[in-house]
Amino acid sequence: MFNKRTLLFANFLIWFQLPLLAQVPITNPALLPEPNPRTSTVALPSVPADEVVLTVGSIKLTAAQFDAIVEGIPEQYRAGARSTGRKAFAENVAKVLVLAQEGKHLKVDESSVFKSQEEFQTMGHLAAAAVTEITNHASVDEAPLRAYYEQHKAQFEQIHARHILVRVKGSVAPVKAGEKDLTEDEALARVEQLRKQLLSGADFAALAAKESDDAASAARGGELDVFGHGQMVPEFDRAVFALKVGEISEPVRTPFGYHLIRVDTKEARPLEELRPELERRLRPEVAQQIVEDLRRKATVTFDPNFFGAPVKETTAASKR
């Protein structure tokens, strides 16, 4: 048996901490829906306070202890947890207790990191630590890893590109010595004239070296270092990743001014290079499945007199 404080804390973790600590969506944080005026909140039969209503392995919860957990959840959900949503809520309580027992099995409570933390002995901390342990050691199979890579390949693209910058008045790029600030209209007219030259066959590198207001890249014929998604300002990022190799962009406005961009190469980073990162991304999904398997294999008993059968919503349409 567990005291009220322990169970309330375990319930707090069900609602908020477990998914955040382990990054595993063990359960939807909204365990119970917002009250629906069309949904019945019929009270379920009551049982003696000391009667065991939920058994999870060796853990037994009485009606009073379960009600104490319900008292700890946000007020707007309590009515449902006391009536038609009681069984669904109990499933989540059972899941935390299953994980707490798994935490004991994994000996996470013996970690030197936690030995000095008295509150770790609560079921909630054991469950959270179990999920963290499961996630950290989850093994990602090769097939789903490769499938994820193929499905998200565009996210891993890296681009080698050149650009020509025409700054405008107020640009964060410094003005060249001996040149004046251009108005918005003047800068746009200039960049459009440069684009016509490029489309007519002008050499991009030579034109960038002569005309670009980005001194650093102009010295390299407009060449930029290889970059991936999210490494450039948003306007530039959107434009460059939409281009085909060899294509000259329309004028692209950013805080620096107007850009003309040409993509020289575009290719995804190789799987082997990304493997550690992809495994980190996929481990929570594997851990989710492990958690669900633990719940399915656990011996969990619900008292039907206490939890009852779900009440179906009655609507006007169903009466027709």
Task: CATH number of the domain at 167, please.
Answer: 3.10.50.40
Tell me if 218 is assigned to some domain.
Answer: yes
> Between these two residues, 281 and 129, which has the higher pLDDT value?
281
Give yes or no: residues 129 and 176 share one domain: no
Looking at the fold, whether 107 and 197 belong to one and the same domain comes out as: no
Q: Are residues 174 and 287 in the same domain?
A: no
Structure token digits, residue 234: 């948003």
Give the pLDDT band (50/70/90) at residue 110.
low
Whether residues 44 and 131 fall in one domain: yes
Q: Are residues 133 and 159 in the same domain?
A: no
Amino acid, single-letter form, for residue 316: A
**Whether residues 160 and 125 fall in one domain:** no
Residue 179: what pLDDT? Answer: 83
Number of domains in the chain: 2
Residue 112 lies in a domain: yes
Question: Which range, 151-160, 248-257, 279-288, has the best average confidence (pLDDT)?
Answer: 248-257
Torsion angle of the four alpha carbons 11, 13, 19, 20, in this order, in degrees rounded to the nearest 10: 150
Task: Answer whether residue 148 is part of any domain.
Answer: no
Q: Which of 2-6, 75-79, 118-122 has the highest mean pLDDT?
A: 75-79
Ordered DSSP codes for 84-151: TTHHHHHHHHHHHHHHHHHHHHTTGGG-TTTTT-GGGGSHHHHHHHHHHHHHHHPPPPHHHHHHHHHH
| Domain annotation covers residue 157 | yes
294 CB neighbour count, 10 Å cutoff: 17
Bridge partner residues of 263 (DSSP): 161, 245
pTM (2 decimals)? 0.54
* Residue 75: inside a domain: yes
pLDDT class for 45, splitting at 50, 70, 90?
Answer: low
- Give a yes or no: residue 193 inside a domain: yes
Q: Are residues 215 and 189 in the same domain?
A: yes
Helix, strand, or coil (residue 9): helix
Q: In the predicted model, is pLDDT for residue 10 greater than 80?
A: no
Q: pLDDT band at 309, cuts 50/70/90?
A: low
Residue 201 lies in a domain: yes
Question: Does some domain include residue 58?
Answer: yes
Range of the structural domain that residue 182 is part of? 153-268
My answer on whether 251 and 292 are in the same domain is no
Look at residue 313 in the predicted model and tell me its pLDDT: 37
**Does one domain contain both 118 and 30?**
yes
Residues 249 and 293 in one domain: no
Do 53 and 133 fall into the same domain?
yes
One domain, residues 9 and 132: yes
